[in-house]
Amino acid sequence: MTMQNEVSEEKVAVPVPPSKKRTSMMRLYYRRFRRNKLAVFGVFIIFGLVVFSVFGPMMTEWNYADPDFTALGAPPNGSHWFGTQKSGHDLFAQVSHGVGRSLIIGFTTSILTTLIAAMVGTATAYFGALGPAGRRMEKVMLGIINFLLIIPSFLIIALVIKGYGGSWQLLILVLVIFGWMGAARVIWSLAMSIREREFVTAARYMGVSSGKILWRHMVPNIGSLLVIQMTLGVQATVMAETSFSFLGLGVKAPDVSLGTLLGGAQDVLYSAPWLFFIPAGFLTLITLAVAFIADGLRDALDPNSSAGGRA
């Protein structure tokens, strides 16, 4: 009888299958992002543009600031691959420098404005959950944001940059100062639901400081929105810098950006079209690549998006 029981127990015993390895969130996002072929293509374009801006000046004997007086307004040739301007400056060297300058301005401004918008937007929403005094503070901060949104920032930025000689560092500063309000208002509307969540309330009653609640609990919960906002901010900043420089209100000589190259070529569009269309082509590559990447990130980070497919 005892042996029969042992045999039956051996038959009943079912080997437990090894538990499946859990997929991390970053790996999940990577898989969903990789399914968007255009987004992957956009990453390769941005990577190629960064490589071009870093190593491009080493590929030519000409410096972007040194003119060649023997080739004034020359079309593309073996010595000057993208041709030269009327002043004799090599366009290949200037485009490689200009792409790097535009990318630096775009990424730096977008990262800083996103960080400021995240902190201000979540803080404004958090104050609204702190009773009557907090709600008054929320109204004050919203009033400041709305006031800054209606200020004609374009004219102020143009006057500041023109008054200080077209420094690209100053251009980044003023673009950051006047570029975070719109995103902060969107983030505030999204953070209003997060401030009512149990973990935020629990942290508040446990005595966790407001700064830690904002930085460790509220901001990470809108991380996907911030990543997409930052990516789209790069595109918007590059276009803004190009517009300012095209109008002669942004980066000034001897420095070069894609906007200054396009602005300098508007008078010779028909006689020397390469001076306009080559910088315009690189500007189009930047904006298209960033738009593709933003679409891919939206599909990867949005759990309700069907474009990313099943993880």
| Residue 138 CA to its chain's centroid (Å) | 28
Identify whether 193 is part of a domain: yes
- Tell me which residue range forms the domain holding 92: 35-62+79-301
Identify whether 239 is part of a domain: yes
Q: At residue 13, does pLDDT exceed 60?
A: no
Residue type, 201: T
277 — pLDDT class (breaks 50, 70, 90): very high
pLDDT score, position 307:
54
Q: What is the pLDDT of residues 119-147, one digit of tens each?
A: 999 999 998 888 788 889 999 999 999 98
Residue type, 24: S
Identify whether 30 is part of a domain: no
pLDDT score, position 108:
94
**Range from 43-52, 80-89, 236-245, 295-304 carrying the lowest mean pLDDT:** 295-304
Number of folded domains that form the chain: 1
Query: What tokens were used for 160?
Result: 């500041």
Q: At residue 16, does pLDDT exceed 80?
A: no
Considering only CA atoms, which of 293, 150, 161 is closest in space to residue 240? 161
Residue burial 28-37, b: 16+ Cβ < 10 Å; e: rest:
bbeebbebbe
Identify whether 135 is part of a domain: yes
pLDDT score, position 113:
94
Q: What is d(CA 310, CA 265) in angstroms, rounded to the nearest whole number? A: 48
Identify whether 2 is part of a domain: no
Residues 292/39, Cβ–Cβ less than 8 Å: yes
Identify whether 152 is part of a domain: yes
Residue burial 85-120, b: 16+ Cβ < 10 Å; e: rest:
bbebbbbbbbbbbbbbbbbbbbbbbbebbbebbbbb
Considering only CA atoms, which of 63, 68, 100, 61 is closest in space to residue 85? 68
Quickly count helices (H) and strands (E) in the chain: 13, 0
pLDDT score, position 114:
93
Identify whether 55 is part of a domain: yes
pLDDT score, position 54:
93
Q: What is the pLDDT of residues 48-62, one digit of tens each?
A: 999 999 998 888 888
**CATH number of the domain encompassing residue 140:** 1.10.3720.10
Identify whether 27 is part of a domain: no
Q: 3-class DSSP state for residue 67? A: strand
Q: At residue 99, does pLDDT exceed 70?
A: yes
